[in-house]
Amino acid sequence: AQAKGFQSALKKGVTVDSDSRLTADFSLVVGQISAKIEVSDVAGETVNTTSGEIGRVIDTAQVESMPLNGRNYLELITMIPGVVTLDEDQMALTTSLSTSFQSVNGNRSTSNNYTVDGAFNMDAGSNASQVNNVGVEFIREVKIQTANFSAEYGRMSGAQVNVTTKSGSNGYHGALFEYLRNNDFDARNFFSPSVTNLKFNNFGWAVGGPVLKNKLFFFGGQEYKRSEEHTSELQSLRHL
């Protein structure tokens, strides 16, 4: 910030999260314009003084480090207070596009709204499924608003979940991954006559980088999930 007759001021470390409202105040001191005041390391916990919304941001480090069953990003929602999981079928949560297995603050599970980079990401014909279950490798952060959000989010009465995807940078970065779950690695449940047959492969790639340095970037990738499972009861019948 600068003005004629005042010393210029520079602030660094101000982090702008998805769907956030941030106030950065500047105080310019009378003096020569060639003098500069620099304030760094401003980042940290900030208080929203602009609106009364209650929201939380799950940042990149949390997205990448949290152990998500089946790498389903929707399980990140359970990190915030007031969320309960209603479906105990873990493989269903892993492989489906369903959004009907989590309740936020007692609202119906079908009352939550899901967007990607601000764009609507739900099947409008059912209100209980996504168009795209965004892969963990492609997510920069997730913003979850649970109450008092503005009228622009008026479609649903429950939580507003917005995924912000990654973008390229001035350096080339990429990932090639495969996650394997197999019954050969599993122990038998104490009350089960045999180990459940399970073969689950989650694999893909992601890459991003510059097109024009400091101006234009790209990021893209693909993810695949293949699952084959049979219950122990079916296995017992097969043996009979």
pLDDT averaged over every residue in the chain: 82
Question: Can you give the pTM of this predicted structure?
Answer: 0.73
Residue among 126, 121, 153 at smallest CA distance from 138: 121
Q: How confident is the model at residue 33 (pLDDT cuts 50, 70, 90)?
A: low
Q: How many residues does the structure list for the chain?
A: 240
Q: How confident is the model at residue 221 (pLDDT cuts 50, 70, 90)?
A: very high
Instruction: Give the pLDDT of residue 225.
Output: 87
Asked whether the predicted pLDDT for residue 2 surpasses 90, the reply is no
- In three-state form (DSSP H/G/I as H, E/B as E, the rest C), the secondary structure along the chain is CCCCCECEEEECCCCCCCCCCCCCCCCCCECCCCCEEEECCCCCCCCCCCCCCEEEEECHHHHHHCCCHHHCHHHHHHHCCCEEECCCCHHHHHHCCECCCEEECCCCHHHCEEEECCEECECCCCCCEECCCCCHHHEEEEEEEEECCCHHHCCCCCCEEEEEECCCCCCCEEEEEEEEEEHHHCCCCCCCCCCCEEEEEEEEEEEEEEEECCCEEEEEEEEEEEEEEECHHHHHHHHC
Torsions phi, psi for 61 (to 5 deg): -60, -40
- For 185-201, the pLDDT digits (tens) are 888 888 888 887 888 89
Instruction: Give the pLDDT of residue 148.
Output: 83
CA distance 169 to 213: 8
Instruction: Give the pLDDT of residue 173.
Output: 92
- For 44-77, the pLDDT digits (tens) are 556 666 777 788 889 888 888 888 877 888 888 8
